[in-house]
């Protein structure tokens, strides 16, 4: 019994050490809706981490920025819009094999401009109910769950 416990502790210690060395990034993501209630998603470009998957538009938050400031900057750079108002929907951390990503997700209430794939990425509007079938990043699934909850009044 003593040997088994010691082995389990060593395994757990190695897992903690490996986890502690993973890099961590903060990301802001925006939920934009059109007049038909569909949400905007963007396809990750070839050559990027998780290329080809669909995601909510946004990107890395710079160290000197708040999550909201990062959202505003990223949506201007990535999809060419100017955010006038947004509120935070949720924040959570997703663990990838190689890193931790903390997502700060905002519902964009008001913006100007027409969303365009400024960096060459594909964009499309999808109903919330279809998001789980489009090849959405696993890290974005909690966003879909929150949107479904909002739609059902939960």
Cross-strand partners of 87: 107
Residue 58 belongs to a domain: yes
Predicted pLDDT at 67: 98
pTM of the predicted model, to two decimals? 0.83
Cβ contact 94:100 at 8 Å: yes
Which CATH number fits the domain that encloses residue 126?
Answer: 3.90.79.10
- Mean pLDDT, all residues of the chain: 87
3-class SS of residue 5: helix
Residue 18 belongs to a domain: no
The tens digit of pLDDT for each residue in 66-99 reads 999 999 999 999 999 999 999 999 999 999 888 8
What's the pLDDT band for 20 if we cut at 50, 70, 90?
low
Predicted pLDDT at 16: 46
Predicted pLDDT at 22: 85
Is the model's pLDDT at 130 over the cut of 60? yes
- Distances in Å between the Cα of 12 and the Cα atoms of 15, 130, 141 are 5, 39, 28
Residue 13 belongs to a domain: no
Q: Write out the two tokens for 18.
A: 């490996």
What's the pLDDT band for 51 if we cut at 50, 70, 90?
confident
Count of domains for the chain = 1
Above pLDDT 90, what percent of the chain?
Answer: 70
Predicted pLDDT at 128: 95
Predicted pLDDT at 13: 42
Cross-strand partners of 111: 83
Residue 140 domain boundaries:
23-151
Residue 144 belongs to a domain: yes
Residue 16 belongs to a domain: no
Is the model's pLDDT at 58 over the cut of 60? yes
Measure the CA–CA gap between 154 and 137, rounded to whole angstroms: 24
Is the model's pLDDT at 57 over the cut of 70? yes
Predicted pLDDT at 5: 40
Q: Write out the two tokens for 13.
A: 């210690």
């Amino acid at each position: 019994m003593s040997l088994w416990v010691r082995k389990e502790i060593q395994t757990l210690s190695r897992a903690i050490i490996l986890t502690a060395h993973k890099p961590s990034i903060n990301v802001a993501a925006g939920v934009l809706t059109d007049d038909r209630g569909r949400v905007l998603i963007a396809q990750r470009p070839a050559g990027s981490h998780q290329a080809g998957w669909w995601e909510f538009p946004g990107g890395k938050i710079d160290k000197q920025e708040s999550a909201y400031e990062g959202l505003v900057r990223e949506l201007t750079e990535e999809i060419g819009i100017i955010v006038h108002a947004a509120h935070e929907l949720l924040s959570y951390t997703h663990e990838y094999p190689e890193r931790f990503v903390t997502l700060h997700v905002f519902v964009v209430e008001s913006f100007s401009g027409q969303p365009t794939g400024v960096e060459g990425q594909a964009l499309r509007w999808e109903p919330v109910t279809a998001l789980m079938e489009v090849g959405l990043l696993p890290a974005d699934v909690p966003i879909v769950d929150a949107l479904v909850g909002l739609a059902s009044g939960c």
